[in-house]
Amino acid sequence: MADAAATEHAATEHAAPGLAAPGPVAPSRWSGRIALWLLLAPALLWLLALIVLPHVELALLSFRERVGPRQYVASLAQYRTFFDEPLYWHVFIRTAWMSILSTLLTLLLAFPTAWVIAKIARGRAGALLFAVCLIPFWVSETVRTLGWIILLRESGVLPALLVKLGITAVPVELLYRDATILVGLVYTSMLFMLVPLVSSLESLDDSLIEAAYDLGAGGFAILRTIVIPHAAPGITAGCIIVFMLTLGNYLTPTLLGGKNSAWFTEQIYTQFITRFNWEQGAALGFLLLALSTGLVVSGLRLTGQRFGDVMRRT
Amino acid sequence: MRAATWLYIGAFLAFLFLPLAVVGFFAFNDADYPAPPWRGFTWDWFLGSAAAGRTGLFQDRELLTSIGTSAYVAAWVTLLAVSAGTTNAFLLERGRFRGKQALSILMLAPLVIPGVILGISILAFASRIADVADDVFGWDADWLRPGLPLVILGQFSYVVTIATLTISARLRRFDPTLEEAALNLGASRAAVLRTIMLPFLRPALLGSAAISFLLSFEDFNTTLMLVGSDAPLTILMYGRMREGATPVLNAVSLFLMAASGVLALTLLRRNSKAG
């Protein structure tokens, strides 16, 4: 018995392979191992077949060039095209820039609301307001975008309202502008900013703020030295998720921006699906992935946080 | 200060709800396009038939079929994601093996890979396998070509991460003394799983099932890259919106809002009951 307890203890210490099973009947090594492999199988199958190997395939595709029917050579041609063709990298930079802009706007708009939910409304009222703010995100992005189209297009609600109010003489087209794309992106991302912000602000102790007021600190000083440092994990988490989703968005830019959207995911789609140029599409895909991962990693570095913690927060 | 606060919240809520409100509103407008002015109330966009010149939601075969397709895909994704999410949760919470940390980080990766990239990578890999199967064995692996099986796999590839996170969070809160007591009293492992673990995990299983279904039903990016000839609802709606939509899209949207609302309310009530 003492022996079994000792092995179990050793197992926890040295993480011998197996499955932790409480109770006096320690499972035999074999049954523990079999159980472990049974649990590992779906996880490995998922990660290898749907995540790792597909990305390896994508990498291989991006590093080859078609020289004849069914003949390929290893080359950097796809990446060279990206840099030689101004259209590609213009759209790339534009997508990155607009995504950063829309992430900042989302943060700016969500923060006061998160503050009200976590600190001013409180209790049932706060919970209710929070729940109400989340309602639109139960509906699909397609539906929400349809709403914006009806609101903003030339024959839509807002242009008609502007005419009625005498602000414009004739209905103006509000769709197909960069600002429209930003509005749509901010709207679509709001949930992913609001949730981590509220949860990080809720844990802020009010007495800290009161103490700061008592010691004569101004509102801005408190925001800068107490609130923002405390909410930093939530801010980072929200910004990372929003940035990534915005960068990879397809629906909102193409529908609200129309032909002027020039969004990078659209070019990937064109290469992959319309032109059937998978090599080029794969290279563009990797560049997008690199941009997304790069900014996520640098965001984490900048604020000194760990990926796992941030993800669990959201 | 207080007035300014409530003004801000009011404006914020207007921003959030205005798009949904107009979608619902114009589902009942007696006009051929979802646009002002208001021309009177009609049920045409729900009940109208092609013969009358207005195909309403319940007569629109294409739309109804795509709702069915979405539900079919979502049911599979839910089943797969909740099953794999449960085994993953046990693996992460109970397993002891080398590389567990790395594996748990890798499991989070699908959340930071843009959906479009997940879609094209799975498309490329599946085609490679299908080509090899065809060249080497002469097998005709049609299900690896764009179509619903690939859509299901593509959505599953990231939905399962969310299911895993939800179920592991619940499993972490499990009190192991309950399990010990049952084992001490002579219960078999299967009995413990059935009578103690699964009932304890039930809220997380139901919650993750609902979230999985919703995520799958609403997925656009990954689906767009993997879809074949059977279009799920989001893809069909997107296509029609590019062509210039009739209010039948408002009608189907309203239907979706109602369905989501019911789902959300059931979940909230369940949660508040569970405490």
A171 is a domain residue: yes
Residue B169 is part of which domain span? 74-230
A292 is a domain residue: yes
Residue A246, token pair as written in the block = 């915005």
A246 is a domain residue: yes
**The pLDDT of residue A8 is above 50:** no
- Domain identity same for A113 and A253: yes
Residue A50, token pair as written in the block = 């749907």
B115 is a domain residue: yes
- Domain identity same for A21 and A104: no
**The pLDDT of residue B107 is above 90:** yes
- Domain identity same for A84 and A46: no
- Domain identity same for A122 and A47: no
Q: Which residues of B touch A251 (CB under 8 A)?
A: 220-221, 238
Angstrom CA distances, A171 to A162, A164, B15, B179, B241, stand at 7, 10, 21, 68, 21
Q: What is the CATH number of the domain that holds B202?
A: 1.10.3720.10
Kind of pairing, strands A64-68 and B95-96?
unpaired
Would you place residue B142 in the very low, low, confident or very high pLDDT band (cuts 50, 70, 90)? Answer: confident
Would you place residue B12 in the very low, low, confident or very high pLDDT band (cuts 50, 70, 90)? Answer: very high
Q: How many Cβ pairs closer than 8 A exist between chain A and B?
A: 262
A101 is a domain residue: yes
A26 min Cα distance to partner chain B (Å): 11
Top pLDDT among B125 and B188 is at B125
Rounded CA-CA distance A292/A295 in Å is 5
Strands of B5-107 (E only): list them.
Answer: 95-96
Q: Which residues of A touch B118 (CB under 8 A)?
A: 51, 54
- The string over B66-97, giving b where at least 16 C-beta atoms fall within 10 Å of a residue's C-beta and e elsewhere, is bbebbeebbbbbbebbbebbbbbbbbbebbbb
- Find, in chain A, the residue whose alpha carbon is nearest to that of B26: A150
Q: Whole-prediction pTM value?
A: 0.89
Top pLDDT among B113 and A259 is at B113
Would you place residue A43 in the very low, low, confident or very high pLDDT band (cuts 50, 70, 90)? Answer: very high
A287 is a domain residue: yes
A89 is a domain residue: yes
A273 is a domain residue: yes
At residue A305, the pLDDT reads 67
Kind of pairing, strands A71-74 and B95-96?
unpaired
A294 at the B interface (CB within 8 A)?
A: no
- Domain identity same for A83 and A44: no
- Domain identity same for A114 and A211: yes
B268 is a domain residue: no
**Whats the size of chain B, residue-wise?**
275
Among residues B161, B166, B160, B175, the alpha carbon closest in space to that of B204 is found at B166
For residue A247, count other CB atoms closer than 10 A to its CB.
26
State the average pLDDT over residues A257-280.
Answer: 90
Q: Which residues of B touch A52 (CB under 8 A)?
A: 106
- Domain identity same for A100 and A171: yes
Tell me which of A94-98, A136-140, A197-201, B214-218 is least confident. A136-140
State the average pLDDT over residues A181-204.
Answer: 92
Across the interface, whether the CB atoms of A144 and B124 are under 8 A apart is answered no
B171 min Cα distance to partner chain A (Å): 13
- Domain identity same for A263 and A118: yes
Nearest 10 degrees: CA dihedral of A291, A293, A296, A299? -70
B211 is a domain residue: yes
Residue A33 is part of which domain span? 2-53
ipTM (interface predicted TM): 0.90
Selected residue of A7, A105, A122, A138 to mutate for chain B interface (largest B Cβ count, 10 A): A138
Q: What's the pLDDT tens digit per position in B29-55?
A: 988 888 888 888 988 888 888 777 788
Q: Which residues of B touch A22 (CB under 8 A)?
A: 176-177, 179-180, 183
B6 is a domain residue: no
At residue A304, the pLDDT reads 67
- Domain identity same for A47 and A92: no
B50 is a domain residue: no
Would you place residue B266 in the very low, low, confident or very high pLDDT band (cuts 50, 70, 90)? Answer: confident
Q: Is A291 exposed, middle or buried (0-12, 13-18, 19+ CB in 10 A)?
A: buried
**The pLDDT of residue B85 is above 70:** yes
- Domain identity same for A88 and A207: yes
Average pLDDT, chain A: 85
Rounded CA-CA distance A73/A67 in Å is 7
A108 at the B interface (CB within 8 A)?
A: no
Query: Residue B96 phi/psi, 5° resolution?
Result: -130, 110
- Domain identity same for A281 and A146: yes
Q: What's the pLDDT tens digit per position in A61-91?
A: 999 998 888 888 888 999 999 999 899 999 9
At residue A2, the pLDDT reads 41
Among residues B109, B221, B230, B238, the alpha carbon closest in space to that of A268 is found at B221
* Residues A256 and A250: beta-carbon distance below 8 Å: no
Total domains in the fold of chain B: 1
A162 min Cα distance to partner chain B (Å): 13
A251 is a domain residue: yes
A194 min Cα distance to partner chain B (Å): 12
At residue B272, the pLDDT reads 66
Average pLDDT, chain B: 90
Fill in the amino acid letter for A250.
Answer: Y
- Domain identity same for A132 and A271: yes
At residue B218, the pLDDT reads 92
At residue A222, the pLDDT reads 85
Q: What is the CATH number of the domain that holds A272?
A: 1.10.3720.10
**Which residues, at least 6 apart from A85, have a Cβ–Cβ distance to it below 8 Å?**
none
Total domains in the fold of chain A: 2
- Find, in chain A, the residue whose alpha carbon is nearest to that of B210: A138
For residue A214, count other CB atoms closer than 10 A to its CB.
9
